[in-house]
Structure 1
Amino acid sequence: MASSSHDHIDDTIDECIDNVCDQIYDQAMENILSYNGGHQEATKPKKKRAHVERNREEGHNRLWNDYFCENATYSPRIFRRRFRMNKPLFMRIVDRLSSEMSFFQQRRDATGRFGLSPIQKCTSAIRMMAYGSAADAQDEYIRLAETTAISCLENFVQGIINFFGDEYLRRPTPADLQRLLDIGEMRGFPGMIGSIDCMHWEWKNCPTAWKGQYTRGSGKPTIVLEAVASQDLWIWHAFFGPPGTLNDINVLDRSPVFDDILQGCAPKVNYTVNGHRYKLAYYLTDGIYPKWATFIQSIPLPQTPKASLFATYQEAVRKDVERAFGVLQARFHIVKNPALIHDKEKVGKIMRVCIILHNMIVEDERDGYTQFNVAEFEQTQSNRTSHVDYTLPTARLSNITEMMITRNEVRDKRTNERLHDDLIEHIWQKFDTNQGYNQDYN
């Protein structure tokens, strides 16, 4: 009996000791947490982001009924204005991307619910480029989040480059060159295949370490685009990336515009001006470009009627590239507005895609606004004064001596002066000075 009483007392003492220890431990932890201040809040696990139910199916149905169904709310004219292209061309792009890229294929999620449709994703990317709008501006109508809109733009850009870049951002083929030469001859410039110039795209979020390299004077950082455009505003050459501190001559020294000629793999061209034969096609330029055999400038202060007439025609035809820049910026405001992306590579891809889409639109609408009837300059071979050799060279120039000879021919100042004089005489003989632009040109 005495033993059992002692055991009960021992259990009671142990229980009291445990309670006291627990109280001391709890008080110590409270003191530590109160001493550390906000440490307790910082160590708490982050809460999961609240889910936003956007009703993406409703967004697809609204988009389909507004633009793509048989009795759409908005007419094809409004579609062309808001998507910057006709509906068949846009659907061609959507079909190609959805069939070739898994990102644009509509799938079901784990719950069996359909994801965003290819039309929603492509529309989001086109709207961001066409209007230069922010990514989260697509949420209210197309019903997709900001990060998804950015992902749509990046994948859209990569897809357009992969599937359409080789065709719509190519160097002129022999057939293309012959067509350009025929149009140039009809406009009074035999041997002319386009005009060349540069434009600047402001880079708002240029890295601080690069701002001195990309900023000229007290302006803002810019990136230079060198382009060659023809009469129908097709951009045949695009070199994007030089810093804005460079001028047209510095950019030309870096540009690959004459690489095919220097390497001996360009199509051979022959044309006649004022009874003299030439073998290098040329571009029309402004006064900053050097006097090479491949460049023809205007006359700054013409003193004679012949020089004045030549300057009028040269400056009018050279505006092709200026018009191309203007249409490109008006068509895609993302190029007109300052670039907001930090990564220069991504900025370059966006510029390249805008040019590819621009050329696709030009091809799709070429017959609607071209100034010339194609049948008028598709002459027989005997009537042409400009000819292209359709047999492309089989090998590149490997001899440094031959490459230097070709380089000297491209940069020959005497050829430039002789061709310049011949073109002045040719323009004077072709067009009536009393009427200015003749009816064929208009």
Structure 2
Amino acid sequence: MCVTNVVVVAAVAESANQTRRRGSRPGRAPNEEQFREDRGKNMMEDYFVERPVFKEWEFRTRYKMSHNVFNRISGDLCHYDRYFVQKLDAAKKVGLLPEQKITCALRMLAYGAGAYQCAEYCRMVKSTSIEAIQRFTRGIVNLYSVDYLRAPTLADLKRLLAKAERRGTCNDLNVLAKSMLFNELTAGRAPKIQFQVNNRTYNLGYYLADGIYPRWATFVKSIPKPTRPKDLKFSQAQEGYRKDVERCFGILQSRFSIVRGAARGWHKEDIRYIMLTCIILHNKIVENERPDDIDEELDSDEEEENNMRPRVATVWEGSTGDDFEPVGRDVHNFNGFMDRYNAIRCENTHSNLQADLVEHLWKIQGNMEV
């Protein structure tokens, strides 16, 4: 019995001292043949040759984007991360194509597919699929976040305000009270917007919010239990327009099913990159599908026939001498900071803006059925 124990202990010690082998090395059982090279050729014939098996509209349906967007992303990722470039593995076999790795990542994002589900079409095992989506999401964020996660530009503001004018309301977003946007606004680094409602001028943009938000000058809330016809009309419009951001998130969920799926299987850092990647890809797709002449339409001063909605908003085009001053350590700049801080949280301005918007909307749409 003692001899047996000694032998067992010696065997365990010897196995613990041996170097753990990974990959295609001598002494390790051979990997199962995945036929990834043949499947890669089939994938190329399906979508990526001059005359593919599946048409462009089928590609857009399955990849959630056009060929042009996919090709730009593929080229940028191959230059950014050599992981996506096809190369020989340790056994001198041809590795996966960039299209296979990117297709795997996109299918996990678009359909919420599990890592093991990519083996059938992409010929990628679970660990390779997870590595592909991790590198894909980090590559997308590092490559495109500057352009597609940036703050709105002057052209963006003009586009948003032009849409708002046609709908009779200002910008229509539901934001959190701790948004970085308010930090920029308080610091004096945000673009200055000035608009006029009911013959009163306001210098802060506003966002439609529900009842849980504070009574700030930057929030316009619905009227609880409205009784007057004009209050009913305002509440209907405010609550209807406020749903837009929920619809936007619904569009993101419909395009990328991974957003609405369970997230417990991912690390927090992976979830962050996945969400940012979905937003960036959505913005790239929208940009690609937007007509080229949209900016020319926004520059036109012609009004639509029977348009009763006046132009009430203007965008800050540059310094006028009366703009917000930057935050600093000296007393003068600190006083300016506190003035902006108090202006944002002014309940009196909040009440006045709501009342003016009620009157403004009633003058425009009061003759319509409530």
TM-score interval, normalised by the smaller of the two chains: 0.7 to 0.9
Residue 68 to residue 186, structure 1, CA distance change in 2 (3 Å): same
SS at match of 1:338: coil
Specify the alignment match of 1:207 in structure 2.
none
1:260-291 CA-to-partner distances (Å, cap 9, x unmatched) read 11111111111111111111111111221112
CA shift at 1:401, angstroms? 2.1
CA distance in 1, matches of 2:159, 2:353: 21
Partner of residue 290 from structure 1, selected from 187, 205, 214: 214
- Mapped pair 1:259 → 2:183: yes
CA distance in 1, matches of 2:289, 2:53: 23
Specify the alignment match of 1:321 in structure 2.
245
Residue 40 to residue 62, structure 1, CA distance change in 2 (3 Å): farther
* Contact 1:341 1:347 (8 Å CA) reproduced: no
CA distance in 2, matches of 1:359, 1:287: 30
Max Rg structure: 1
- Mapped pair 1:357 → 2:281: yes
Specify the alignment match of 1:241 in structure 2.
none
Specify the alignment match of 2:171 in structure 1.
193
SS at match of 1:271: strand
Specify the alignment match of 1:98 in structure 2.
78
* Contact 1:180 1:194 (8 Å CA) reproduced: no
Residue 171 to residue 194, structure 1, CA distance change in 2 (3 Å): farther
1:114-153 matches, within 5 Å, as 114-153=94-133
CA distance in 2, matches of 1:185, 1:374: 15
The Cα RMSD (Å) is 2.7
CA shift at 1:62, angstroms? 1.5
Specify the alignment match of 1:268 in structure 2.
192
* Contact 2:230 2:366 (8 Å CA) reproduced: no
In structure 2, give the amino acid aligned to 1:319: K
1:233-268 CA-to-partner distances (Å, cap 9, x unmatched) read xxxxxxxxxxxxxxxxxxx24x31212111111111
CA shift at 1:99, angstroms? 2.1
Specify the alignment match of 1:406 in structure 2.
340
Residue 314 to residue 413, structure 1, CA distance change in 2 (3 Å): same
Specify the alignment match of 2:314 in structure 1.
387
CA distance in 2, matches of 1:315, 1:128: 35
Higher mean C-alpha displacement, 422-431 vs 112-121: 112-121
Residue 124 to residue 91, structure 1, CA distance change in 2 (3 Å): same
* Contact 2:325 2:336 (8 Å CA) reproduced: no
* Contact 1:33 1:40 (8 Å CA) reproduced: no
Specify the alignment match of 1:230 in structure 2.
none
Residue 394 to residue 287, structure 1, CA distance change in 2 (3 Å): closer
TM-score (norm 1): 0.72
In structure 2, give the amino acid aligned to 1:348: R
In structure 2, give the amino acid aligned to 1:177: L
CA distance in 2, matches of 1:164, 1:126: 16
Partner of residue 146 from structure 2, selected from 162, 166, 172: 166
Higher mean C-alpha displacement, 120-129 vs 178-187: 178-187
- Mapped pair 1:378 → 2:299: yes
1:187-336 matches, within 5 Å, as 187-189=167-169, 192-197=170-175, 252-253=177-178, 255-336=179-260
Specify the alignment match of 1:339 in structure 2.
263
Specify the alignment match of 2:307 in structure 1.
none
1:146-194 CA-to-partner distances (Å, cap 9, x unmatched) read 21111111111111111111111111112211221222122111xx223
* Contact 1:79 1:87 (8 Å CA) reproduced: yes
CA distance in 2, matches of 1:342, 1:57: 30
Specify the alignment match of 1:20 in structure 2.
none
In structure 2, give the amino acid aligned to 1:51: N
CA distance in 1, matches of 2:66, 2:32: 34
* Contact 2:324 2:336 (8 Å CA) reproduced: no
* Contact 1:182 1:378 (8 Å CA) reproduced: no
Partner of residue 422 from structure 1, selected from 356, 359, 366: 356
Is there any run of 5+ residues in structure 1 with no aligned partner, and where? 1-30, 198-225, 227-251, 437-442
TM-score (norm 2): 0.85
Specify the alignment match of 2:23 in structure 1.
none
SS at match of 2:271: helix
1:78-93 matches, within 5 Å, as 78-93=58-73
CA distance in 2, matches of 1:181, 1:78: 35
Residue 86 to residue 435, structure 1, CA distance change in 2 (3 Å): farther
CA shift at 1:296, angstroms? 0.9
Structure of higher RCO (CA pairs closer than 8 Å, 6+ residues apart): 2
SS at match of 1:396: coil
SS at match of 2:241: helix
Residue 86 to residue 33, structure 1, CA distance change in 2 (3 Å): farther
In structure 2, give the amino acid aligned to 1:106: Q
Specify the alignment match of 1:17 in structure 2.
none
Specify the alignment match of 1:244 in structure 2.
none
CA distance in 1, matches of 2:342, 2:94: 63
CA shift at 1:292, angstroms? 0.9
Higher mean C-alpha displacement, 176-185 vs 122-131: 176-185
CA distance in 2, matches of 1:298, 1:374: 33
* Contact 1:188 1:426 (8 Å CA) reproduced: no
SS at match of 2:207: strand
CA distance in 2, matches of 1:167, 1:326: 23
SS at match of 2:243: helix
SS at match of 2:217: coil
Is there any run of 5+ residues in structure 2 with no aligned partner, and where? 21-26, 304-309
